Chain A
Amino acid sequence: MIRPILLSLLIACSAWGQDIGGLNAIPPLTEARFPVRGLSVPDGSLDDLSKWASKLVVAVDSPDGATPVIDFDIGVARRQPVLYFSADTAGLYVLLVVDPSAAKPVIVSKRVVVGDLPPNPLQPGPVTPSTPATKALRATYVYEKSKHAIPPDLTALFRELIQSGDCSAASVDQDVKTGDGKTPKQYEVAISKAKEAGLPCVVVEYASGAAVVVRPTPDAVRKAVKP
């Protein structure tokens, strides 16, 4: 449920847009990363950026009984706010970010389907985007070699995933090339998703063709591979 305290803010907002990127459907217990694009990020110092970020209001409208986890971060280099979201219960979630400090308060939102939605009795047939098949094909750590290290504990997890046959895993630089100078086909999706979400991150791809972007931590990757 949306907290009542938000209602007055929502009513006061002059602009309301679906301007949060990332996937629209994710498996349960999978951390997804959503870049927030619709806000006016200040150009000033880091202190200004920090003060501005502290005033943002982040909320999620969730199904009854659900206990979603939502976290907010802002990259200093890219100056782009990012939401980290996961949920244990299937259903439709609406994420909200409100910037009350703007001259005219702005709200951006996103609808996210977690797992399979219950069928809508008024509208027979599938009404939701297909959710990712649960079988993970590969986990890819995408990084910029001039800026990022490969986390040692991620190395250990990747070895574990390969050893157990859960999925393949690799660590690739965002500019990785084949011998013919092209982006390797097996990493086209991962690199595209990662660049959109911000580096470094891990992209988990599923048998269905779906993919999720998660933080490069063993817990987040493990949950995405084995939802």
Chain B
Amino acid sequence: MSLNLWQPIDPAQVDVVLDPSGYPAELAAGDTVDVLRDICGDASRDFPKELWIEPSDWADAVREAEKNKSMAVHYVDRFTNQDPTHECTCHSLRTNFECAWNRTRAASIGPPVAGERLESSAKFGSLWVSPLSIYAEANPRQWGGAGVRQVLDIALRRGFLPEPIQPREYKFKHTLHGTTGRGGKNQSRGEWVPVTRFPEGWTETAKHIKPDEIIFPDEWEQAVCLVIHGYAYSVGRNGHAIPWTHWSPTNRAMGYVDSYDVIRWDSERTVRSAYSGGFAIATVVVPDDWDNPAP
């Protein structure tokens, strides 16, 4: 699949404003950098200086990342589809997590293709997590969405449950369907499940599938550098939370794997205004054996 990093982008796919998807203004107002850093505590990290790329060098860095398949989107191997739920912050978080997991595993096998399962997902051992396993706790009322601070806190504290659908057999003891929305070939769907009805003993599985450290940049340019270096960057803006995964130097726009089976774009203006309150997962907890991630 072509990322279209250098050709003009369809204007209809830039700065798209959707119907309410789960990140209303009242939740966004509480997701300040200070609040997020406080929630992350010892897991909070500053932007690593070594990842800085001068803006004048971004085009060359993107070419290099494209050649080596090392941008964030190359570590994302599936779409999810939340429609019509309000789970967006958790779908964005799952992309961020799976990107970090695949980066650790050297599984640069993306970009994803809507409606298809990549053969390399099984060979490289990517792992698919359930956004619903976070959302069910973040908003027990099901509708109305969740803040970044809630979902990040939950993920760091107790982790995700894996999807029943996986690219390879991992023999998980506990799983939860991915969404109450549409789902798809690579994401299971099901009915609403409160946390009290999660499978018995589920925390023993979830503790092995969680982020470990989170990066909070100070400038929007640092967010671009993170994406070029292979870190997905989760933000909320215009009522919808998404994960930035690739930068187009010619269009001055950030691409994202939207949770509606589609790639969309944010203009530089939106990136400048939205980066604050966003985050990148720097590291994840790693199992003793990749073939048995949650023993």
Contact = CB atoms under 8 A, between A and B. Distances in A.
A146 interface: yes
Nearest to B293: A179
B137 to A, nearest CB: 18
A186 B104 contact: no
B263 to A, nearest CB: 21
A50 B290 CA distance: 44
B287 A171 contact: no
B45 interface: yes
B230 A150 contact: yes
A152 B61 CA distance: 9
B116 to A, nearest CB: 19
Contacts of B230: 150, 155
Interface stretch (A34-42, A59-67, A73-81, A162-170): A162-170
Given A149-B51, A156-B68, A184 B288 contact: yes
A152 to B, nearest CB: 4
A163 B120 CA distance: 8
A179 B106 contact: no
A171 B65 CA distance: 16
A159 interface: yes
Given A156-B67, A163-B120, A176-B285, 14 more contacts: A145-B45, A145-B283, A150-B229, A152-B65, A152-B70, A155-B69, A155-B70, A155-B230, A163-B123, A171-B103, A171-B106, A177-B286, A179-B208, A186-B287
Nearest to A177: B285
Contact of B124 (A146, A162, A179, A186): A162
Nearest to B225: A149
B36 interface: no
A19 interface: no
Interface in B77-110: 103-109
A153 interface: yes
A186 B289 contact: yes
Contacts of A153: 64, 68
B212 interface: yes
B68 A149 contact: no
B182 interface: no
Given A145-B283, A172-B286, A152 B105 contact: no
Contacts of A162: 106-107, 123-124
Given A149-B229, A162-B124, A156 B286 contact: no
B253 interface: no
Contacts of A156: 67-70, 108
B48 interface: yes
Q: Which of B70, B103, B120, B290 has the most CB of A within 10 A?
A: B70
Contact of A147 (B50, B64, B107): B50
Contacts, number: 96
Contacts of B109: 159
A123 interface: no
A184 B287 contact: yes
Contacts of B104: 170-172
B77 to A, nearest CB: 12
A179 B103 contact: no
Nearest to A159: B108
Interface in A134-165: 145-150, 152-153, 155-156, 158-159, 162-163
A188 to B, nearest CB: 9
Contacts of B124: 159, 162
A45 interface: no
Contacts of A148: 48, 50
Contacts of B37: none
27 contacts: A145-B48, A145-B213, A147-B48, A150-B229, A152-B64, A152-B68, A152-B70, A156-B68, A156-B69, A159-B69, A159-B107, A162-B107, A163-B120, A168-B290, A169-B106, A170-B106, A172-B286, A176-B212, A176-B285, A177-B212, A177-B285, A177-B286, A179-B159, A179-B207, A186-B288, A186-B289, A186-B290
Given A155-B69, A155-B108, A156-B70, A179 B123 contact: no
A77 to B, nearest CB: 12
A187 interface: yes
Given A146-B48, A149-B51, A176 B70 contact: no
A202 to B, nearest CB: 11
Interface string B33-49: 00000000000011011
